[in-house]
Amino acid sequence: MQPHFDTVSNMTTHTATRNGIIEYIGEHYSVDPEYLWKKYPDYAVFRHADNRKWFAIVMTVTAQQLHIAPDSIAGESVDIIDVKCDPDVNAALQGQPGFLPGYHMNHKNWITIMLDGRVPDEQIFELIDTSYDLTRR
């Protein structure tokens, strides 16, 4: 999906899809995705150039892996992003649609966001920005 061009602000806007997130992070933070595992070639890791700390990872997993699906859709793939966030924010978000405990991450400090349209794009991009800031140190 191509980014949209906002004629009012002359800024590119993105949708919170796998490709939109990769473009957003590249534009805002000059960070390209790293694909670290042969076994998981579509897992895109984003980290700071200076301290090498991760601030996001985009993955395609099955609904069964997330423990969210009835047997009828357990094998279906879904795109997700894990980002770091404040533990209080994390606790509040986990009760909302589209949010889960961090997949294969510390559940107190990381949250999984489903990239299926349930979470507004702006909120996803704000959480990416927060994660970037939290992992600067």
Question: Is 5 a member of any domain?
Answer: no
Place of tokens 């107190």: 108
What is the pLDDT, as a whole number, of residue 2? 40
DSSP 12-70: EE--SSHHHHHHHHHHHH----B---SS-TT-EEEE-TTT--EEEEEEEEETTTTT---
Cα–Cα distance, 99 to 28 (Å, whole number): 24
What is the pLDDT, as a whole number, of residue 15? 73
Question: Is 56 a member of any domain?
Answer: yes
Cα–Cα distance, 15 to 37 (Å, whole number): 26
For residue 44, the enclosing domain spans: 33-134
Cα–Cα distance, 78 to 2 (Å, whole number): 20
What is the pLDDT, as a whole number, of residue 10? 39
Q: What is the CATH number of the domain that holds 90?
A: 3.90.1150.30
Tens digits of pLDDT across the chain (137 residues) = 344 434 333 345 667 889 999 999 999 999 999 999 999 999 999 999 999 999 999 999 987 787 776 555 556 888 999 999 999 999 999 889 999 988 888 789 999 999 989 999 999 999 999 999 999 98
What is the pLDDT, as a whole number, of residue 44? 97
Question: Is 110 a member of any domain?
Answer: yes
Question: Is 27 a member of any domain?
Answer: no
As for how many domains the chain has, the answer is: 1
Question: Is 44 a member of any domain?
Answer: yes
Neighbours of 32 (CB within 10 A): 11
Question: Is 12 a member of any domain?
Answer: no
Question: Is 22 a member of any domain?
Answer: no
Question: Is 3 a member of any domain?
Answer: no
Which H or E element spans position 97? none
